[in-house]
Chain A
Amino acid sequence: MQNKKTLEPPQGISGFVADWSGDKEAFHVPWGKAMMWIFLLSDTFVFSCFLIGYMVVRMSAVEPWPNTSEVFALEIGGQHIPMVLIAIMTFILITSSGTMAMAVNYGYRKDKTKAAILMLITALLGLSFVGMQAFEWSKLISEGVRPWENPFGAVQFGSVFFMVTGFHGLHVSIGVIYLFTVAIKILKGHYEKSGNYEIVEITGLYWHFVDLVWVFIFALFYLW
């Protein structure tokens, strides 16, 4: 990075070979961003192990699996609507990903107020997601769902449900704290001197990953 680049670095496959065979850095991105990507790759494997474990207990369960569409149905105004809470949670998380993407965009433009405000909105949407998840958990617990039993069918449902959604909810909660912290630091002018707002993009990568994992949980856990 010290050298003034006079030639365009090679792109595509030849760029891949040039980067990986270079005697210095392979990833020509800020180290913080590279580390976040590597962390997310490791997290991908952890979530994958959980989801594969879910597949195994579900496919090998002899008792019928609960009908998730009915388990997560809600009575609203006397109307019985299947999966309504999950649909709202999904739309909220997608929306938070949208506001985060725009925050990253304003981070690049060094428009710190807009970036920070969009991050705060993202954090609040994440908070509402966790709140709805708490509501969902307490409803299921009141109906007798436990990690070792449930009234709807195969016992494995309870353990997998609390483990997978709990681990994802933990990620959302950590993300909310992360977003609030970075947004407040931006507003306080912490990155003013360096003029370096890469942190917005790095935080964004984490948040989009949380949304990405939900896409898989939504499809494999609630729709299957």
Chain B
Amino acid sequence: MVENTQVQVDEHGHQEHPVSLYLKIWVLLFILSGFSYMVDFMHLEGLLRWSLILLFMFLKAGLIISVFMHMMWERMALICAILIPPLALTLFIGIMAIESNYTFFSRLMFFTGS
């Protein structure tokens, strides 16, 4: 078992990163969260607000997955197995967005008495 572990660590390689790497990512996540907070604080509206919120969200998520969860050092087989299935959700989100717009307009038309 001990030998096995040794092999694994070497194979998946380079899992021993300097602590400073994690500290850098940590600071970066703080800054990105601060930016997200500023978007609300400065009362940005419309497309600008949306694109900034989503940009900071995906940057933070990417940093956590790739560095903290070590995804960037995994083999392609695992990366694909974990990251490709959630892509199907984008289709789901799209369908549900269309559906909720339809529900919204139906409600406006039939239930709000206007």
- Secondary structure call for the B interface: helix
* Contact partner, B78, options A34, A194, A196, A215, Cβ 8 Å: A34
* Contact partner, B40, options A5, A9, A194, A223, Cβ 8 Å: A223
Q: How large is the interface on A (under 10, 10 to 19, 20 to 34, 35 or more residues)?
A: 35 or more
> A223 with B53: in contact, given A208-B69, A211-B64 (CB under 8 Å)?
yes
| Interface size in chain B (residues, C-beta < 8 A) | 61
Interface residues of A (CB under 8 A from B): 1, 5, 9, 11-13, 15-16, 19-20, 26-30, 34, 37, 40-41, 44-45, 48, 52, 55-62, 69, 82-83, 87, 90-91, 94-95, 97-98, 100-102, 104-105, 108-109, 194-196, 198, 201, 204-205, 208-209, 211-212, 215-216, 218-220, 222-224
- B16 CB within 8 Å of chain A: yes
Chain B 19-39, CB within 8 Å of chain A: the 1/0 string?
Answer: 100110110011001001101
Interface residues of B (CB under 8 A from A): 1-2, 4-5, 7-9, 11-12, 15-17, 19, 22-23, 25-26, 29-30, 33, 36-37, 39-41, 53-54, 56-57, 60-61, 64-65, 67-70, 74-78, 80-82, 85-86, 89, 92-93, 96-97, 99-101, 103-104, 107-108, 111-112
Alpha-carbon distance A160/B98, docked complex (angstroms):
20
* Contact partner, A215, options B1, B7, B12, B61, Cβ 8 Å: B61
3 smallest A-B Cβ distances: which pairs? A19-B77, A16-B76, A98-B26
Contact A56–B96 (Cβ < 8 Å) = yes
> A91 with B30: in contact, given A83-B37, A216-B61 (CB under 8 Å)?
yes
Nearest CB to that of A196 among chain B residues? Answer: B5
- Secondary structure call for the A interface: helix
A219 cross-chain contacts in B, Cβ below 8 A: 36, 53-54, 56-57
* Contact partner, B9, options A83, A108, A194, Cβ 8 Å: A108
Alpha-carbon distance A109/B112, docked complex (angstroms):
64
30 contacting pairs across A/B (C-beta < 8 A)? A5-B7, A15-B76, A26-B81, A29-B12, A29-B75, A37-B81, A37-B82, A55-B93, A57-B100, A59-B97, A62-B111, A69-B40, A83-B37, A83-B40, A94-B30, A95-B26, A97-B29, A100-B68, A101-B22, A101-B26, A102-B22, A105-B19, A108-B15, A194-B2, A196-B5, A198-B5, A211-B68, A212-B64, A216-B61, A224-B53
